[in-house]
Structure 1
Amino acid sequence: MQRLFLLLGGWLMAAMALAQSPVPVSQKRSLNAADYDRWQNVSSEKHAPNGQWLAYQIDPQEGDGQLLVSAVGTASPRYRLARGYDARFSADSRFLVAKLKAPLADTRKAKLKKKKADELPKDSLAVVELASGKITRFANVKSYVLGKDGGSWVALLQERKPDAPAPRPTAAAKDATNPVTISPASTTATAKKAAPKKPKADDMVLFNMADGAQQRVRYVSSVVMSDNGQRVAFARESIIDSLKSGDVLLPGVFTFRTDTRQLTVIDTSGLHKVYKGLAVDKAGDQLAWMASADSAGAEQKVFRLYYKNLGNKPVVGQAKKGSKIKSGQTKLPFIQTTSGAGTIVADTTTAALPKGWSVNEYAPVRFANDGQRLYFATSPVPPRIKKDTLTPDDEKVKVDVWTWNDSRIQPMQQKRLKDEKERGFTTVCDLTTGAVVPLASRDVPTVAIDYKTNQRYWLGVSDVPYQVSSSWDPGHLDLYLIDSQTGQKTRIAHDLIASEAKLSPGGKYAYWFDERDTLWRAWSVADGKRIDLTRGLPDKFFDEEHDTPSLPGSYGAAGWTTNDRYIWVYDRYDLWQIDPTGREKPRNLTNSWGRTNKVRLRRVALERTDGPTDERAIKPTDDLYLTGFWEGDKHTGILRKRPGMTSATQINPGGELQILLNSGHRYSNMTKAKNGSTITYHRGNFREPNNLFQTDTTFSTQQQLTQINPQQDSLRWGSVELVKWTGTNGIELEGLLYKPEGFDRNDRPPGTKYPMLTYFYERSAETLPDYKAPTPSRSTINIPYCVSNGYVVFVPDIVYTTGNPGQNAYDCIVPGVLSLLNRGYIDRDRLGIQGQSWGGYQTAYIITRTNLFRAAMAGAPVANMTSAYGGIRWGTGLVRQFQYEKTQSRIGGTLWEKPMNYLENSPLFYANRVETPLLMMHNDADGSVPWYQGIEMYSALRRLQKPVWMLVYNGEDHNLTQRHNAKDLSIRMYQFFDHYLKNAPAPSWMTEGRSAVEKDRGELKY
């Protein structure tokens, strides 16, 4: 079996050799629909903590992928796990744990046999000992946990098949190979037998990767492990009675010590029927859980939150010597009720909570990293309403009541119904004093908690006063400082339009970007005053290219340095260091090198909070790595600035930056090992797939680890160039021109003219170095497919003003197309245009203004701005007014303030001018643009006897989500363009349609 997983890397070497042997253009073929599925992608790199191993996935678009594991410094992978994903290294870097997907062919076969979801093939789990290559495999695995910072144990939940017999438990399980002792009370208990019930939970397997010891525990509903790997806690959620074994298992909470291998009963009191919300602190010394006396099937359950000290921590609720209750703090004893299981932290009797509130079952329970606080959520207990069993369902009144003063309109309420029913309000228990303090409230519902710190104040955010006006003027909010000791809320900013409102890592400052004043601001917690951080600085910190009627946002912040000493923020090009105390003048850390050279510099957080390490503050003494984007030629690169370096010692005279890499590629996804110098990154461009490269912190050498998609070398591909022209409005514009392979060859026949497709959205020139994989269309043309099949593809940038978005698109796109026609290689009679959503709207508008294009495809176009203005974005429930007044649609006023702008920019009112055959896609479950917009345009053109087709994929959203539908759209869209731009025969669906009867029979009609 191991040979299925431990394949040594000859395949990779062969693929790289193939890629290095160029295939003559004459021997290459064009891309076709059969090529999509096998196209590969590299993702999910994971570094072993010691930096000696690297794992990454190579997956096709459809089919079975693989997880590769390499020893750092070697070119070939050491191990390959078929269908591997969700990989993690053990803290000591000795083991790799990964899930293995079920083979796709087996899953499809089961679906064809109409198997139910719980009968489909399941994932499995592989544990690899990296030094020896030994693999231990577990079948039917749903999830697993292992210690983030230590330990050699993994706990996995193994799905039990519904009809599988349960193994008979023993009172004690102990043998030489599996020295795990379980007391009888941990598996069985005395209770009255009830009617048999089907078990709803899974089996948990505890596996010691170091010595192979295993222990199985039946019917586990949830499991957690401490970061140090020393404590496993798990729960049984539902009562399980009258099993074939004759034993009775009660729900409960249990722990397992990995060092002593002792399993302990924490709570099987019989008072509770449902357990959830398990949490264990980093050290494994403290445990918390939720329990309810209501049955698992109860429509409404009321939970209590319990706590138990498992280690040598101070007694919970015992205040530190000399400590006093703070002014305003809730005066309540921590211990309200104590059972043998643990201490009740909160329930319906907790005085600190509003009357009728209790613990929220849907929000997670979390310990702070230092173990001194326990965070959870509370909410009102739903009223126990007796179901109406006397009225037939067809006689029950179903009505929505829309009122003028609803804070949120009914569709938005319906979209948020589940969230609102499950909404919890953040609450904290101080485990040193026993105080329970509500932090969030109905007025301030959002509180940002950083569990890594134990600071006193948190930042609260509220949009409650602005919920009504958010339908047309979104983004307003208030900011609060919330005292975690007393719950007191102090408003520090009112009616802001702000972005990136956060707390500094040390909690000394709240900070945000004020879009009204285009300033970075902070609030000093100690001084209780506001600080204008960027006032008076010469450069702009707002988006200089912003072109909607809303206020511009910022370029972002890199973060704070240690001890909240400085904040680092970006202008368009450079990185600034600002002292919030004002004692030091602001400093441009990159010495304006970015602005001078028109290179946008951004810090790379190699030590990321969501990555292998937990960096929260920037260490200014460390090397500073930056990505660069050269605006002129659209190249990207990686740069480094070392502390204390002077311009006299630099590679680049006059600056403090070293350019480590710079080319016509996109460099992305830089990651670093936690305790090693290994760095990986992706590199690719239009001609080169995004491959994985490896280096170290010196960047002295780079090693390419992957060579995906070698089949590309045998296919006609193409090239891309940056083009420039002047718009009708006099603005200098940029765009991308994708050309078929052989376009620039000297042997191209003189006078050769190509058909051209124009695709656009807003601005795309900056994507020049991006790789674009062949893939089925979710809504737009696939550029590699089109270029491979002989089309030139033009992607122009569009610059907007307020009030005339349709005219703006025309002024930028049409002159760009005409400038290319002047070059002599584009066929003027073979021009197509395509766009989706906002691009679909612009496509529909442009064909009312010009007959330049022979065929057009518009996906989900807004045809009538007057009816769309008051429509609903069904995906969110938001009314669309804000979109026209403030954001993308760019009218900049209400329908009654600017009626002519709405009319003049609506294609529907000029449908009689359209001479271009139009294909639309507008799906009946579109959550962004109302479906009736497509219907309005289709109905108008149909009545005018203009050639129009509309594809409606049933149950699909704005962009297609189901791959088989995307493949179908790709076939039809290219058939449409090929017919008009290449004189290909019209497919039957264009000439005959597809009747409802044919659809019912499953006839595709291509």
Structure 2
Amino acid sequence: MAFNLAAQQIKPSLSHQDYDRWETIANKQISKDGKWVAMEIALQDGDGRVQLTELAASKKAITIPRAGKAAFSENSRWMIGLIQAEKDSIRQLKLQKVKKEDFPEDSLLLIDLRTDEKIKIPGVGGYKLPKKVKNWYAYQVPSKVDKDTSSIETKTVKSKDEPFVLNIQSFVGDKSYAFETVLDYGFSDDGSKVYLVSKKEDFKVIKLLDLESGIENQLIDSLTAYKFPVFSSNGAQFAVLGSTSSVEEEIKDFQLYLLDGEGEFKHWESIPDQKDHRVSEHFSPSFSDSGEHLFFGWNPLPKTYSYAADSSILEDERVNLDIWGWQDKEIQPMQLKKLEDRERESKVAVYQISKSEIHLLGESLSSDVHFNRFKKGDWAIVRDNSPYRRAYSWDIQIGEDLSRVNLKTGEINLLAENVIGNPRISPAGKFVYWYNAPDSSWQAIDLASKAKIALTSEIKDAFHYELHDSPSLPRSYGSPGWSADDEFFLVYGKYDVWKVDPFKLDQAKNLTRVKGEKSEMTYRLLNLDSEKDYFDMSDEMMLSGFENETKSSGFFRGDWKGDKLPKVLVYGAATYNGLKIAENKKRYIYQKSTFKASPDVYYSDADFHKEHQMSQINKQQEGINWGDVELVDFLSNDGDKMNGLLFKPENFDPNKKYPMMVYFYERRSDALHHYYSPVPSASIINIPYFVSNEYLVFVPDIKYKIGLPGPSAFDCIVPGVQAMIAKGIVDKDNIGIQGQSWGGYQVAYVITQTNMFKAAGAGAPVVNMTSAYGGIRWGTGMSRMFQYEQTQSRIGGTLWEKPLYYIENSPLFYTDRVETPTLIMHNDKDGAVPWYQGIEFFMALKRNDVPSWLLVYNGEDHNLKERKNKKDLSIRLSQFFDHYLKGEKAPLWMTEGIPAIEKGKTLKYELSID
């Protein structure tokens, strides 16, 4: 009997074939009445499903294969979604070279939640709902008439090239509409109106439909192109950009069309009294929340250049060059990277609808105009960093000049110079506020009076991140925002939430630590209403909580007056996130996970008397040798107490010594209860895969000293590994180390200082700080100087100020010490770390006869994007470490290589034969 039981407990390890079937909760929705939850469960590669569950005693559940994009109607009676074609079927059609337009269309699915009736409409190209009031739905099907759109330009944001039939249906009653030859459509947020763009000969017609009355209002019937149709928040006003330029014209003039709340239809191409200013086609018009203001973009007329326009010059005679000037505010790579954005750059103007007045906001080409989310109040702000921009290549914390703009007059007033922070407008538009990094305080300016307010001056708490360990100004703990009407400013200390009256600073209130109670619990506010960019203090205060010592977390109910301690709703040794509430505020849904448990969905009533599990994804995990994790501590070489994570196989035997992988990146111990899906690797080892395959995985935190990033890593990683060896469960002769980017650099450095690792993997490593310092981050076009002087590389000075630091921290100069076999991945389109760094490292290892391999995925960036390449890297990582740490046979790609003549013809995963 005992023998049979033991046999039953033997579970297979994860394989590379398991990735595709792993599931995640891609989206979850709760109906407004709180009675139903729809969960979209997606596979990494395969057909997902929607699970529809009733939150009642019956807990009725409906599973809909291949469904997605699920939503509920306003009255909570209907669920709507799309059913997609089988992925395997689509793959077969691709193998047969079938054209994409001949692939099967999706089907629209509606389920009556009262009667369980299902309505399925095949051949649907997509559907839409209003953003807020979901009383209507619309879906499109292929047009029934022959279509020839070869002469029609359809350069719009969302429209397709082909006209379609649009059907609009009410969720309440039987009212419906149908339209032929539609190119584009969209609901107003309140669901009262729809705009329709249709084809009429070679032109586009735009009209509005009032859904209740059925009245159609044709606005324009002669456009050749249009962009950015938009309603005001109440649906009473509508704006769109349109062009009547001929199809053949390469550059088209666009006009701004407006139907105001009085039913008056207006349009203009240039700005009155500013004939050299034209409406920009690249800026989406938008209304203020009140509907009083319409914001749109404008551009000066384009400059003409005689050399460019000279038709006497042949194309092969034209000179093309980049000139890098010392006086340029941005270096040429940054300018070229932003070229398309610069060509589409727009200034901002505001049309005051009641007065029919236009004001230009922020004339400077280098300034940015900002509004609050809903564009409330009478003010915008202008942020201009042009006086300081030249230093950005080495100082990424440059300042900016801050001004206010009066939306009624267009008047601009300077508020502050050289502000180092991220100024933004409060929700009601009364203040501009920011975290002032130089003195670690929160500041504000009253936009009406221009009075400056030191928001946190009366609070005894730390507002800067106390674990900051790079040569730059520390970040803040953050601010969740403001209460309604900008009455109170809300801000985070290290652990707590503070409420500040901007006009009574001495009355600041700690909302979470009522009587100075001491604990390691960090509280943060949760805004459960995505439609509000402020906190409504008439609603209950909901908080997340994270205990820094144990890494436990949960949800809490707080007190806006700050008279009561937060009340525990749900809490434990797990990660809790994604809290949502039904509109009737009777039920909550959220996700909970640990390393062992997938992030499933749970629900609870308003008082969290009991949590109920609603989903159970990844059931296949029960039949796999998974693992567990524990929080461990160790002392660094400097005597600092450090944390780390130690992952063990599920069938862990304390009497056995295991090979161990070491992975790290800054500080990771707070992720003790994080769930890691088995996924193909974009750059790093997949922890569940290695743990399942009988490895220990150790992830130490690292504390850095300025100027000594390499030694700092050594002083934490090596004693951490020694502490794990001291536990008596690690095979000290078979330890591997792997990291990517900043982690890849530290791997390269550590193996120049010790031979304790049997094998190493370094992805995209910087190994020569002297050459990397002057390089370019091609993804942004930025110089790399800032990285070493201010941020992650932590040298804290220029190459000529601290030349020895750059050399001493560069692994390349000590490669002759390396004996550890090394696998490098560095891709030829890496936009973050110059590809030549990986080449320098590989060539140095090769020159010193160290067994080493360089993987270069053609066309790939810093981290792999294509799934086929991720799967390939996963296989090669496991084969490399299995060979050195487990004694497995080496694959042919390691023993024979893949010569260029065999590239693309073989993968050589096969193991070599002795």
> 1:494 Cα deviation (Å)?
1.6
Partner SS, residue 468 of structure 1: helix
Partner SS, residue 504 of structure 2: coil
CA change 1:282–1:25 in 2 (3 A) is same
Q: 1:125 — aligned with what? A: 108
Q: 1:29 — aligned with what? A: 12
- Asked if residue 481 in structure 1 is aligned to residue 390 in structure 2, the reply is no
- Asked if residue 666 in structure 1 is aligned to residue 575 in structure 2, the reply is yes
Counting aligned pairs with the same residue, the percent is 38
Query: What is the rounded CA distance, in whole Å, between the counterparts of 1:843 and 1:832 in structure 2?
Result: 10
> 1:524 Cα deviation (Å)?
1.4
**8 Å CA contact retained: 2:40, 2:70:** no
Question: Deviation per CA, 1:207-252, whole angstroms, max 9, x where unpaired?
Answer: 214456654434433322112222111224xx76xxxxxxx36322
**8 Å CA contact retained: 1:279, 1:288:** yes
Query: What is the rounded CA distance, in whole Å, between the counterparts of 1:201 and 1:96 in structure 2?
Result: 28
Give the letter aligned to residue 740 of structure 1: P
Higher mean C-alpha deviation, range 273-282 or range 127-136: 127-136
**8 Å CA contact retained: 1:875, 1:926:** yes
CA change 1:482–1:136 in 2 (3 A) is farther
Q: 1:356 — aligned with what? A: 276
Give the letter aligned to residue 290 of structure 2: D
CA change 1:583–1:887 in 2 (3 A) is closer
Alignment of 1:108-257 (within 5 A): 108-139=91-122, 141-150=124-133, 152-158=135-141, 165-166=145-146, 200-210=161-171, 215-236=177-198, 248=201, 250-257=203-210
CA change 1:80–1:1003 in 2 (3 A) is same
Alignment of 1:542-561 (within 5 A): 542-561=464-483
- Asked if residue 882 in structure 1 is aligned to residue 764 in structure 2, the reply is no
Alignment of 1:804-823 (within 5 A): 804-823=708-727
Query: What is the rounded CA distance, in whole Å, between the counterparts of 2:350 and 2:442 in structure 1?
Result: 30
Query: What is the rounded CA distance, in whole Å, between the counterparts of 1:299 and 1:387 in structure 2?
Result: 15
Query: What is the rounded CA distance, in whole Å, between the counterparts of 1:297 and 1:998 in structure 2?
Result: 48
Give the letter aligned to residue 822 of structure 2: L
Give the letter aligned to residue 667 of structure 1: Y
**8 Å CA contact retained: 1:106, 1:121:** no
Query: What is the rounded CA distance, in whole Å, between the counterparts of 1:139 and 1:51 in structure 2?
Result: 30
List alignment gaps of at least 5 residues for structure 2.
155-159
Query: What is the rounded CA distance, in whole Å, between the counterparts of 2:831 and 2:684 in structure 1?
Result: 17
Query: What is the rounded CA distance, in whole Å, between the counterparts of 1:362 and 1:893 in structure 2?
Result: 41
Give the letter aligned to residue 721 of structure 1: E
CA change 1:633–1:474 in 2 (3 A) is same
Query: What is the rounded CA distance, in whole Å, between the counterparts of 2:884 and 2:796 in structure 1?
Result: 38
- Asked if residue 42 in structure 1 is aligned to residue 25 in structure 2, the reply is yes
> 1:782 Cα deviation (Å)?
0.7
> 1:812 Cα deviation (Å)?
0.5
Give the letter aligned to residue 700 of structure 2: P
Alignment of 1:701-712 (within 5 A): 701-712=610-621
**8 Å CA contact retained: 2:31, 2:76:** yes
Higher mean C-alpha deviation, range 916-925 or range 490-499: 490-499
Question: Deviation per CA, 1:773-804, whole angstroms, max 9, x where unpaired?
Answer: 11111110111111110100000000011101
Q: 1:624 — aligned with what? A: 541
**8 Å CA contact retained: 1:235, 1:276:** no
**8 Å CA contact retained: 2:682, 2:864:** yes
**8 Å CA contact retained: 1:151, 1:230:** no
Q: 1:794 — aligned with what? A: 698
Query: What is the rounded CA distance, in whole Å, between the counterparts of 1:258 and 1:81 in structure 2?
Result: 31
**8 Å CA contact retained: 2:892, 2:908:** no
Tell me the C-alpha RMSD between the 2 structures.
2.6
Residue among 540, 544, 558 paired with 1:641: 558
- Asked if residue 445 in structure 1 is aligned to residue 367 in structure 2, the reply is yes
* TM-score, length of structure 2 as denominator length: 0.93
> 1:419 Cα deviation (Å)?
1.5
Q: 1:498 — aligned with what? A: 421
CA change 1:924–1:833 in 2 (3 A) is same
Partner SS, residue 848 of structure 1: helix
CA change 1:918–1:583 in 2 (3 A) is closer
Query: What is the rounded CA distance, in whole Å, between the counterparts of 2:457 and 2:185 in structure 1?
Result: 51
- Asked if residue 977 in structure 1 is aligned to residue 900 in structure 2, the reply is no
CA change 1:815–1:697 in 2 (3 A) is same
**8 Å CA contact retained: 2:893, 2:907:** no
> 1:360 Cα deviation (Å)?
1.6
- Asked if residue 699 in structure 1 is aligned to residue 660 in structure 2, the reply is no
Partner SS, residue 642 of structure 2: strand
Q: 1:290 — aligned with what? A: 241
**8 Å CA contact retained: 1:157, 1:202:** no
Query: What is the rounded CA distance, in whole Å, between the counterparts of 2:361 and 2:116 in structure 1?
Result: 50
**8 Å CA contact retained: 1:95, 1:209:** no
- Asked if residue 365 in structure 1 is aligned to residue 318 in structure 2, the reply is no
CA change 1:955–1:854 in 2 (3 A) is same
Give the letter aligned to residue 200 of structure 1: D
Q: 1:330 — aligned with what? A: none
Query: What is the rounded CA distance, in whole Å, between the counterparts of 1:990 and 1:627 in structure 2?
Result: 49
Partner SS, residue 333 of structure 2: helix
List alignment gaps of at least 5 residues for structure 1.
1-21, 169-192, 241-247, 317-341, 609-613, 648-655
- Asked if residue 967 in structure 1 is aligned to residue 871 in structure 2, the reply is yes
Residue among 299, 303, 312 paired with 1:379: 299
CA change 1:772–1:886 in 2 (3 A) is same
Give the letter aligned to residue 432 of structure 2: A
> 1:487 Cα deviation (Å)?
1.8
Partner SS, residue 865 of structure 2: coil
Query: What is the rounded CA distance, in whole Å, between the counterparts of 2:472 and 2:377 in structure 1?
Result: 35
> 1:143 Cα deviation (Å)?
4.4
**8 Å CA contact retained: 2:590, 2:603:** yes
Alignment of 1:408-557 (within 5 A): 408-443=330-365, 445-450=367-372, 452-476=374-398, 477-499=400-422, 501-557=423-479
CA change 1:28–1:945 in 2 (3 A) is same
* TM-score, length of structure 1 as denominator length: 0.85
**8 Å CA contact retained: 1:863, 1:936:** yes
Q: 1:13 — aligned with what? A: none
> 1:518 Cα deviation (Å)?
0.5
- Asked if residue 762 in structure 1 is aligned to residue 666 in structure 2, the reply is yes
Question: Deviation per CA, 1:749-772, whole angstroms, max 9, x where unpaired?
Answer: x4x211000000110010001111
Give the letter aligned to residue 463 of structure 1: N
Q: 1:100 — aligned with what? A: 83
CA change 1:940–1:402 in 2 (3 A) is same
Query: What is the rounded CA distance, in whole Å, between the counterparts of 1:960 and 1:793 in structure 2?
Result: 22
Give the letter aligned to residue 291 of structure 2: G
Give the letter aligned to residue 55 of structure 1: A
Query: What is the rounded CA distance, in whole Å, between the counterparts of 2:8 and 2:391 in structure 1?
Result: 60
Query: What is the rounded CA distance, in whole Å, between the counterparts of 2:862 and 2:29 in structure 1?
Result: 34
Query: What is the rounded CA distance, in whole Å, between the counterparts of 2:735 and 2:180 in structure 1?
Result: 66
> 1:58 Cα deviation (Å)?
0.7
Question: Deviation per CA, 1:347-394, whole angstroms, max 9, x where unpaired?
Answer: 22522x5x5322222222222232222122222344588888887765
Q: Give the number of aligned pairs.
A: 897
Partner SS, residue 295 of structure 1: coil
**8 Å CA contact retained: 2:152, 2:202:** no
Q: 2:157 — aligned with what? A: none
CA change 1:948–1:159 in 2 (3 A) is farther
> 1:285 Cα deviation (Å)?
2.5
Residue among 628, 638, 641 paired with 1:729: 638
> 1:158 Cα deviation (Å)?
4.4
> 1:151 Cα deviation (Å)?
5.8
Give the letter aligned to residue 419 of structure 1: D
Question: Deviation per CA, 1:612-641, whole angstroms, max 9, x where unpaired?
Answer: xx2233233432221111111111111112
Partner SS, residue 516 of structure 1: helix
> 1:72 Cα deviation (Å)?
2.5
Query: What is the rounded CA distance, in whole Å, between the counterparts of 2:646 and 2:575 in structure 1?
Result: 18
**8 Å CA contact retained: 1:98, 1:126:** yes
Question: Deviation per CA, 1:174-224, whole angstroms, max 9, x where unpaired?
Answer: xxxxxxxxxxxxxxxxxxx99899993431413214456654434433322
